[in-house]
Amino acid sequence: MLPDQILFALEVTLNGLMAGVMYALVALGFVLIFKASGIFNYAQGVLALFAALTLVGFQNGQIPFAHLINATFGTNLHTFGWTLPGIVAIALTAGVMVGLAWLIERLVLKHLVNQAPIILFMATIGLAYFLEGLGDVMWGADIKTLDVGLPQGISETVESATAALLGYGFFIDNLDIVATIVAVILVASLTIFSQYSKQGRALRAVADDHQAALSVGISLRFIWVLVWSIAGFVALVAGIMWGTKSGVQFSLSLIALKALPVLMLGGFTSIPGAIVGGLIIGVGEKLFEFTIGPMIGGATENWFAYVLALLFLVFRPQGLFGEKIIERV
Amino acid sequence: MSAQPAVNTEGYTTADGRKIGGVLMEMKNITLRFGGVVAIKDISFDIREGEIRAIIGPNGAGKSSMLNVISGFYVPTEGEVWFKGYRRGPMKPYQVAQLGIARTFQNIALFDGMTVLDNIMTGRLTLMKTGLLAQAMWWGAAQKEESAHREKVEKIIDFLEIQAIRKTPVGRLPYGLKKRVELARALAAEPKILLLDEPMAGMNVEEKEDMCRFILDVNDEFGTTICLIEHDMGVVMDLSDRVVVMDYGKKIGDGTPDEVRANPEVIAAYLGVAHD
């Protein structure tokens, strides 16, 4: 039998891995848009929030803009009076995210073709604040619980199995296990899509050179709507996982900040990089808190990821899997 | 496009005995203005099936602008573009590409981060039929299609003798090879018309000879209609069947290389005339 200390460290590592998957889910959305359009999409976190809000709204049969309608017409409307099953609500929300992608292309991106990346970045900041406000007005600013039927709480199977095997029961959240499985499927399908499908190739082509992409018959508009739809879908998945874990509220959009160090580690252009970066940060911050944390007064999880990212910027600015840009002179 | 097919079916035979078909593309009174600047002034000419058509002229004559009009990157201010006997409405460049008009660029526009093979595969995007959903649902069909396209691409790679670099990211290649990859990508689309914007620019003599050979071979082997822009008179005269000469946005000559060479206006534009 292993000593308890080591087993505990092992459990911490496992929990770190699971937390890392949750970070990676958010980082994935950033990578997709960055790969396809060279835009750092500041709005990705808010997209996740917006998706989660919409999902809860649909599920509970909330009337969108209820507060606005009530305030204007003096009515007292709140819900349609139905509750939808989780899967239906998810499908409807996915549809909304596609519509949103189409609107973003129509109203924002279309007018910014061939602009410098910084302009597009600013546009996404504007988009982030707009969506945040829209989410509030549509669905209300109160904290909501999200339950689409995903298993939650400590997994008893894992606990009893490890207890029998090692004499020490591991505490692992069911939701984290689900998140891991979902993330693996998501990454595998996205990688296959981008590497081997017609649209995936077109997507990479657009990311590389707009003019050349046009000359081989690729419609930029279609590709942009596609990319933002996928990013919206990934945001929805992240929103479901994080929303189930810690409730749907404004602070959900701040998970985007946690994705930043993940991106710096994994590289802005690599889908597997987002996953590996997420895992390293998840495990790193848990282990650091567990080993060094007590010596320096704890709460290291607040800053560990950022310091790690800073170190990476110094020694390997392109990240673990990012493309190193070699230019012929 | 308005219905009214009016293809000129009579062709001609070149000096070396190749049969040239009817009119494939016709530019009718094209004028292109940018604000007050007139880049192209009332130019008409046609491109016939199977021929190598050149547009030449000194710097700033409006050659590239003309090519951009043909490929849809510019919309002419006045005039009509007719293709395969139909008038072509205003179109986006990607729609023109889908019609079967492929092009290369003067300053090379390749996907630097992708391999040579991937770059050439993008050329076949317009020919791929399987849709997004079908690809997601029925992976087998998509894969079958992919390998069929891959086969065609490998043929082109062999043809242009770039087998050795097929897995190299394009960003790492030297200039001359990049130009060849760009030609390969355009060819992969199996275009009706292949537009080449200064295919020989910035090349050394050996690379130029290679490129000339490839252009002639492409025309010979696949029967591809080619419209090219060149700066270098010597190269153009050897290569092309008919030549349009532009100067300051105007057409000053049109005909076989020999006719053009004898045209006093062309000589003046290229060599200058003595002012006395």
CA dist A138 and A55 (Å) reads 12
Q: Give B188 to chain A, closest Cα distance, Å.
A: 10
> H-type helices in B191-272, by residue range?
205-222, 233-239, 257-262, 264-271
Domains located in chain B, CATH noted: 1-100+191-276 (3.40.50.300), 113-186 (no CATH)
* Interchain CB contact of B142 with A (< 8 Å): yes
Question: Angle, nearest 10°, between helix axes A304-315 and A271-291?
Answer: 130
CA dist A231 and A229 (Å) reads 5
Question: Nearest residue of A to residue B147 by CA position?
Answer: A196
- State the Cα angle at B127 between A101 and A98, rounded to 5°: 10
* Interchain CB contact of B90 with A (< 8 Å): no
Sheet with B101-103: strands ordered across: B101-103, B193-197, B225-230, B52-56, B242-247, B250-255
Q: Which two tokens stand for residue A290?
A: 């567990």
Among the partner residues A201, A207, A211, nearest to B109 by beta-carbon distance: A211
Question: What Å distances lie between residue A304 and A258, A285, B28, CA to CA?
Answer: 11, 6, 68
Sheet with B86-88: strands ordered across: B37-48, B23-34, B78-83, B86-88
Which letter does DSSP use for residue A323 in this model?
P
Q: What is the pLDDT along chain A (329 residues), one digit of tens a residue?
A: 567 788 888 888 988 998 898 888 889 888 888 877 778 888 999 999 999 999 999 999 888 888 888 888 888 888 887 888 889 999 999 999 999 999 999 999 888 877 888 898 999 999 999 999 999 899 988 888 888 888 888 888 888 888 888 778 788 888 888 988 998 898 888 888 887 788 888 888 888 888 899 899 998 888 889 989 999 999 999 999 989 988 898 888 887 788 889 998 988 888 888 889 999 999 999 999 988 888 888 888 889 999 999 998 888 888 888 766 665 55
Question: Angle, nearest 10°, between helix axes A198-208 and A220-246?
Answer: 100
Q: What is the separation of C-alpha B66 from the centre of its chain, rounded to a whole number of angstroms?
A: 11
**ipTM rounded to 2 decimals:** 0.81
Residue A44 · residue A30 · CB < 8 Å: yes
User: Tens of pLDDT along B4-14?
Assistant: 444 456 778 87
Among the partner residues B98, B105, B114, nearest to A208 by beta-carbon distance: B114
Hey, where are the domains in chain A? 4-315
Q: Which two tokens stand for residue B117?
A: 């093979």
Among the partner residues A208, A214, A217, nearest to B113 by beta-carbon distance: A208
* Interchain CB contact of B48 with A (< 8 Å): no
At CB < 8 Å, which residues of chain A contact B? 193, 196-199, 201-202, 204-205, 207-209, 211-220, 226, 323, 326-328
A196·B112 Cβ contact <8 A? no
**For testing contact with chain B, the best of A194, A196, A198 (most B CBs within 10 A):** A198
A202·B125 Cβ contact <8 A? yes
- The position carrying tokens 């270098």 is B232
A217·B128 Cβ contact <8 A? no
- The position carrying tokens 């998945």 is A237
Across-strand partners of B52?
B226
